[in-house]
Amino acid sequence: MVAGLVCAAALGALAQPATMTGTAAAAGSGPAVSLQEGQAVRGQVTVYASAGSDLKLTLDDAPAVTRPESSLPATVLFEADGVQSGSQRLLNSLWVNGKMVSLISQDYSGYATATVAMPAGVLHEGANVVTVRAGSSVSPTDLTKNHDDFTIRNVRLRLLGGTDLADPSVPSTQVIPLGDGFPGGNATEEQVTKNFIMTTSADQIHGVSYALDSRQLADGPHTLAAAAADGQTSKVGFRVDNTPPVIGSTSPAEGERIGSGNLVVRVDATDSVSGMAGAAAVLDGRAIPVPDRFPVENIPAGDHTLAVTVTDKAGNTDTETVRFTTTPVPIPRNAYFRGRLPSSGDASGTDAPVLVAAGDVACAATSKVTRTACHQAGTATLVQSMKPDVVTMLADGQYDVGTLEAFQSSYDKSWGAFKDMTYPAVGNHEYAQAYYPGARADGFFDYFNGVGQADGRAGDRERGYYSYDLGRWHVVALNSECGVVSCAPGSGQYRWFEQDLQAHPNKCTLVYWHKPIFSALTPGGVGNPDTTPLWRLAQQHGVDLVLNGHDHNYQRYAPQDADGKADPTGIREIVIGTGGVGFHPGITQVPNLEVGNADTFGALRLTLRPTGYDWAFTPEPGDNGTFTDAGSARCTAVPQGQTGK
């Protein structure tokens, strides 16, 4: 019995069971066969064997009918560091002789070995061009958007017989960078591709294939033998398994009611022939891993559906759907409230503290500073000069993925200077683009809260929301990764936010989260509609100002309601994704947008007065953009006759 299966890579490998393209199981003295010793197979599979077209195959001592193949399958291997294609959904790829063979769909760090199967028919006799390509989120061949930045080394072509071929002009120890040096975009072919020439002979790529229909065989062990014309032979023992695994139990169970603690997603399943390979699940229509674990309030209270699919090593599957219910979890009064933060009074006095905000901050430590990228040091100098009482980092502080090592090697060297006064939001890059309940942002929380600390200045690591008072203002940080921590009515975050606003009825209230609900980069001006319930709730309780990042530019909107209609009693949104990492151009005029800019790095300085606020966007020092924006506004709870001072 296997409990809480986790094997995403294995599931991916089994997704195409019709063709065996693995490393030869019987390399050495006898002919090489694509079946591996002990391998489990199901359905119809194609078996390949090398050592010439006159090779004879037998299955359980009975002759097998083969056909000659002029181009056998093979495998491309290389060591890679910094590949984030799986979490980032960047479309890196492998090409052979001008044809895309596969997307590189896994993450690799620390020079882990990437193994990419190449089907039959791709190689030809003579020189073959193997190309590793860094992709963008748009397509494997796009040159205009930001590309994955990673390094590779020791690229080789492994033939079916186990022989490795390499490009003699490229030393195996040479480290080769690929990408556009985040976050530039507009890359050249030379930046994002590297070609390797591998030369094969006819004897190396010629062989035979056999169409094996395992459905005609009994489940259990079988033997495939290969005999060459020169008398050399090899045998491979494999297992046929056309029987699905059996799910014994799931967590949650059918009809279960859960009202406290953690929701644990787990499945117990068995397979008597080939053994279990992995499991996957879909919770309320969203794919999640198995096992998974998260606070029960991170999904809305109510009825839920969980579909669990288990897969054995041959690729057979079984699915079970269960329905369960979660009930509202009590939220203690003033939960995740940090109290009143100290304000120095150096700039405007304790009744007018200064909050400085920006998001989307630091490039990777290896990235180059250009006119349009990696200005975290310049914006850090600016923030220091603004003499803030509190720094609000609006998430995506470290690119591409906010591991603790990445934060320490780049972000900490710039914005780390005011870490002790920073109260950050969490965003998509902190979660490595994962968008399911139970996703982790441990690098972010380890950096700001302390390694392994459950709570701290970045909030509870299972939730990522908290509040505090600053001067006369109430300030709230929310988690806009609504697939991880739900933003919907009935969720813990929504109910906590409502309770927190009721418990702190300050005249002036500021809320910040990462992904803006309104964005001038999207048609119609709606960016992240998942946060609409939070905006609607905020307006009901008189919130004055919402700060966001995510869009790498500056946008200031007139007060509006959750539906995007101008409303003097609505909320003003300001997007400040200008912390240094790069720009998102393409700002268009959308409803209620008052000011927008996408060519100046900088930060927003807010003076939080008892009845209103002053804002001032200032560019970083130097000849790096001249855009500025400034103004004042009163809080909505302040009568019209009073000023915002």
**Beta carbons of 323 and 303 less than 8 angstroms apart:** yes
Instruction: Please choose, from the candidates 406, 388, 386, the residue with its C-alpha nearest in 3D space to the C-alpha of residue 396.
Output: 406
Residues 454 and 542 in one domain: yes
Residues 483 and 353 in one domain: yes
Cα–Cα distance, 123 to 128 (Å, whole number): 7
Please indicate, yes or no, if residue 300 is contained in any of the structural domains.
Answer: no
Retrieve residue 198's tokens: 């591998």
Cα–Cα distance, 151 to 191 (Å, whole number): 12
What local confidence, expressed as pLDDT, does residue 6 receive? 32
Asked whether the CA dihedral 357, 363, 368, 373 is positive or negative, the reply is negative
Residues 514 and 460 in one domain: yes
Instruction: Please choose, from the candidates 163, 207, 185, the residue with its C-alpha nearest in 3D space to the C-alpha of residue 56.
Output: 207
Cα–Cα distance, 150 to 152 (Å, whole number): 7
Measured at the CA of 273, the angle between CA 270 and CA 278, to 5 degrees, comes to 45
Cα–Cα distance, 68 to 85 (Å, whole number): 37
**Beta carbons of 426 and 514 less than 8 angstroms apart:** yes
What local confidence, expressed as pLDDT, does residue 297 receive? 97
Instruction: Please choose, from the candidates 317, 141, 161, the residue with its C-alpha nearest in 3D space to the C-alpha of residue 246.
Output: 317
Please indicate, yes or no, if residue 440 is contained in any of the structural domains.
Answer: yes
Please indicate, yes or no, if residue 395 is contained in any of the structural domains.
Answer: yes
Q: Given 183, 213, 240, which residue is the final one in a domain?
A: 240
Residues 355 and 401 in one domain: yes
Cα–Cα distance, 306 to 256 (Å, whole number): 12
Please indicate, yes or no, if residue 330 is contained in any of the structural domains.
Answer: no
Measured at the CA of 311, the angle between CA 293 and CA 111, to 5 degrees, comes to 70
Retrieve residue 234's tokens: 């090899």
Sheet holding 545-548, edge to edge: 337-341, 466-470, 473-477, 508-512, 545-548, 572-576, 554-557, 593-597
Residues 355 and 435 in one domain: yes
Residues 55 and 84 in one domain: no
**Phi, psi (5° rounding) for residue 213?**
-105, 95
Instruction: Please choose, from the candidates 502, 575, 587, the residue with its C-alpha nearest in 3D space to the C-alpha of residue 545.
Output: 575
Using DSSP bridges, classify how beta strands 292-295 and 262-270 pair: parallel, antiparallel or unpaired. antiparallel
Retrieve residue 571's tokens: 């909320």
Please indicate, yes or no, if residue 251 is contained in any of the structural domains.
Answer: no
Instruction: Please choose, from the candidates 539, 515, 517, 522, the residue with its C-alpha nearest in 3D space to the C-alpha of residue 590.
Output: 522
Residues 371 and 229 in one domain: no
DSSP 3-state assignment of 27?
Answer: coil
Cα–Cα distance, 279 to 556 (Å, whole number): 46
Largest CA distance in the chain: 102
Q: Range of 134's domain? A: 75-201
What local confidence, expressed as pLDDT, does residue 53 receive? 64
Please indicate, yes or no, if residue 328 is contained in any of the structural domains.
Answer: no
Residue 532 makes CB contacts below 8 A (sequence gap 6+) with 517, 562
Q: What is the pTM of this model?
A: 0.86
Which CA distances in Å does 539 have to 73, 279, 474, 572, 636?
A: 61, 43, 14, 10, 10
The CATH number covering residue 111 comes to 2.60.60
Mean pLDDT by 10 residues, the chain (645 residues): 34 34 48 94 96 85 95 97 77 97 91 96 97 93 89 97 95 94 76 97 93 97 94 94 97 97 97 96 96 98 98 97 97 94 64 96 90 95 97 95 94 98 97 94 98 96 98 97 98 98 96 98 92 98 98 98 96 98 93 97 97 97 92 87 53
Q: Given 170, 201, 232, which residue is the final one in a domain?
A: 201
Please indicate, yes or no, if residue 641 is contained in any of the structural domains.
Answer: no
Instruction: Please choose, from the candidates 32, 118, 36, the residue with its C-alpha nearest in 3D space to the C-alpha of residue 313.
Output: 36
What is the enclosing helix (H) or strand (E) of 501? helix 492-503
Residues 32 and 181 in one domain: no
Number of neighbouring beta carbons within 10 Å of residue 60: 11
Q: Residue 217, class by beta-carbon neighbours within 10 Å (0-12 exposed, 13-18 middle, 19+ buried)?
A: middle
Residues 472 and 426 in one domain: yes
Residue 633 makes CB contacts below 8 A (sequence gap 6+) with 544, 545, 572, 612, 613, 615, 644
Instruction: Please choose, from the candidates 142, 158, 237, 265, the residue with its C-alpha nearest in 3D space to the C-alpha of residue 193.
Output: 142
Residues 113 and 61 in one domain: no
Q: Report which DSSP code applies to 472.
A: T
Retrieve residue 164's tokens: 């490795």
The CATH number covering residue 211 comes to 2.60.40
The CATH number covering residue 546 comes to 3.60.21.10
Tell me the residue type at 494: Y
**Beta carbons of 496 and 335 less than 8 angstroms apart:** yes
Which CA distances in Å does 596 have to 81, 227, 521, 524, 539?
A: 37, 72, 11, 16, 23
Residues 61 and 103 in one domain: no
Retrieve residue 57's tokens: 């195959």
Residues 233 and 371 in one domain: no
Count of structural domains, the chain: 3
Please indicate, yes or no, if residue 333 is contained in any of the structural domains.
Answer: no
Instruction: Please choose, from the candidates 411, 432, 506, 501, the residue with its C-alpha nearest in 3D space to the C-alpha of residue 465.
Output: 501
Residue 420 makes CB contacts below 8 A (sequence gap 6+) with none
What is the enclosing helix (H) or strand (E) of 50? strand 44-50
**Beta carbons of 58 and 64 less than 8 angstroms apart:** yes
411-443 burial code (b ≥16 CB/10 A, e <16) = bbebbbebbebbbbbbbbbbbbbbebbbbebbb
Q: Report which DSSP code applies to 255.
A: T
